[in-house]
Structure 1
């Protein structure tokens, strides 16, 4: 039975006060407190949820290490492993080492569900992560029943930000609704009288989340969606959407769609006035540069510093990241997905340290309590952008900086200041 249909029996009425301190100088607050509503009372195994973690803290991943997403997923895990290696060299979490255990799900939700069962029961992991909204949908009920924290899931759908029904789950990627709200705000500045929009939709839950988020964001505006096409075949979609004559093309897609759709619109000779790519299409070298001129001017919202961009060449955090990641086995440190994995590890480590310093010590429960009270800026986040969580707000990323792709320079260039809409979600 889907947890959205269950009562919130796993949520305690008692309030637990925690300290929410960042683990390095990138923290947005030196000390902040918040109330948590996480309880182990209704866990399948309450003792396991509250048992102190000693020796090794295991993070279990179910992710597509085979298939078309394998390169991006591999880089995310590479970045996480490198960051964990740095932490282990520094003594770990008060003497507890960090370990990553990966199982391939080939981007198949049913395989992800089986993997998570094995990771919990056979591997005894303390924390979980997964890649994809369909995968998160497949595992969230079992993972919440088992009270194993799933932290910073690589998904953007709003459903799993429902703290009452999914108290042991958090997402890393920006909410599709939040991201599309910011996208539309930017379009309003460029098109004050509105414009026509063509929408390319990936048919997975991730793609539909973006599509639904955009449709919601344009309600009541002067923007008109004049054509919608599935991304099952990017070439067919490009031809059909070109026929609409839309001024704006929005890619409601996943990582594998970004380059494919750009190359398709180039083949059919269509150059919309504005092309919006989802924030998951972040790597310039692999997703934009191969498309040549067809990708020029495409827009994206970003929250991570880009070590491949000369604008960050003198950034101390980027310099340290490059040195440490290369020294600890990262083969592609300038790849945006490697940076992504490193930043996720930074966020986890911040939670682990605060959990370890809590009255009850390091456990699954204290880790989840820390995750629900996080206000932290990883060093590789763009200045002015933090990851914010509370017992009543689970959006995480609520600020972005807009960038456009410069095909001639083969790099992203700033297209405005950081846009922070956190006040809309207080």
Structure 2
């Protein structure tokens, strides 16, 4: 038995065909605990909706898809450690990881083992340009989202806009888009605050913004941090309009905000979860209903779309499924209709979708478009 396990591990490590194992193993490392846990659970649940439906219909060439998920607690070093463990276990690809610095930590492993990272749950520009041959994005970039949010605030007649960003690659990346939006509007940020990713002290920073009498704040950070920041901002007496990015487009984020959530703008990278005229949304609703899921969230849809792209690649790779054949299949996927949303991959473009919109949290705790 031990020799057989070693043989399978060797085959997987060499990227040989999937016949060596009973299931198609896909690996995921993400913060199932920690500050992004709510969003991670929702994206993963959305992915499982589609993957379970594929397995129920016979899988891929008779093989079921097994998603192996490890908790990295939203810590980049642990994300890299988990990814290495998953690769050693023989996963065919990595999938739906969470976080920009976390993705950076994984990138060297992709090149070393020549396997795909499909649908990283981050809009980091570094995953888009230059094109990484092993990274296949599904969602729009954070820079696109942040610029769109600034355009919206300016369109509302707001001119005194502040930025607050986490001090990691995610924060710097998104802030680049926001500053571009301000530049186009011929404005400068009233304040541009940077806070640490670990144990940020937001109370004095939010008091500073309240004293500056800002009209709007674009808050770039993880869910729990943004919630704490909004609480501190309101406690400091500021009624500034708050906007944040799609990494916080989850029901868990809204629930944590409670009454303070009303009126907060959250950018979106997919059509409304209630847009049943979009075939992909309608399909997700039908599967959710069959699975007993009460409602869909934007994060559910991100996971659902990610799973559709993964499965499209697996099917295109054919019967001789391997790490290499999956990379080739995704690279040559061309135009792929997710269901009212068209994605396109080629050897020179792994961007995926460029959809960016805005929603506001309504009094019912739902995202209004």
Alignment of 1:347 with 2:309, yes or no, is yes
- What is the aligned partner in structure 1 of residue 160 from structure 2? 196
Q: Once the two structures are superposed, what CA deviation does each residue of 1:331-377 show, in whole Å capped at 9, x if it has no partner? A: 665343333322211121122222228xxx43322322332344334
Q: Distance in 2 between matches of 1:113 and 1:290?
A: 29
1:364 lines up with 2:323 in the alignment: yes
Conserved 8 A contact 2:80-2:105: yes
2:120 is equivalent to residue 156 of structure 1: no
> SS of 2:356's equivalent?
strand
Alignment of 1:91-106 (within 5 A): 91-106=58-73
CA distance in 2, matches of 1:198, 1:174: 23
* Structural mapping, 1:20-419, within 5 Å: 48-49=14-15, 51-54=16-19, 55-121=22-88, 123-129=89-95, 130-164=97-131, 166-191=132-157, 195-231=159-195, 232-272=200-240, 274-283=241-250, 285-288=251-254, 291=257, 294-307=260-273, 311-312=274-275, 317-318=280-281, 320-325=283-288, 327-328=290-291, 333-356=295-318, 361-372=320-331, 373-379=333-339, 383=340, 385-407=341-363, 409-414=364-369
- In structure 2, relative to structure 1, the CA distance for the partners of 1:260 and 1:173 (3 Å cut) is farther
Partners of 2:324 and 2:170 lie apart in 1 by 29
Unaligned ranges ≥5, structure 2: 1-10
Q: TM-score, with normalisation over the residues of structure 2?
A: 0.84
Distance 2:236 2:13 in 1: 60
Comparing both structures, which one devotes a greater share of its residues to strand? 1
Q: How many residues align?
A: 352
* Superposed displacement of residue 107, structure 1: 1.4
CA distance in 2, matches of 1:63, 1:46: 22
Q: CA deviation at 1:305?
A: 4.5
State the alpha-carbon separation in 1 of the partners of residues 260 and 84 from structure 2: 44
Is the Cα contact below 8 Å between 1:196 and 1:247 reproduced in 2?
yes
Cα distance between partner residues in 1 of 2:206 and 2:213: 11
* Cα pair 2:122 2:142 within 8 Å, conserved: no
- Report the counterpart of residue 22 of structure 1 in structure 2: none
Output the CA distance in 1 between the equivalents of 2:367 and 2:38: 21
Distance 1:339-1:398 versus aligned 2 partners, 3 A rule: closer
**Worse-matched range after superposition: 231-240 or 315-324:** 315-324
CA distance in 2, matches of 1:62, 1:46: 19
8 Å CA contact 1:377–1:387 kept in 2: the answer is yes
Q: Secondary structure at the match of 1:207?
A: helix
CA, structure 1 residues 395+236, in 2 after alignment: closer, same or farther (shift >3 Å)? Answer: farther
Change (3 A) 1:147 1:334: same
Cα distance, 1:230–1:305 mapped onto 2, change above 3 Å: same
CA distance in 1, matches of 2:296, 2:64: 26
Note the C-alpha offset of 1:313. 6.4
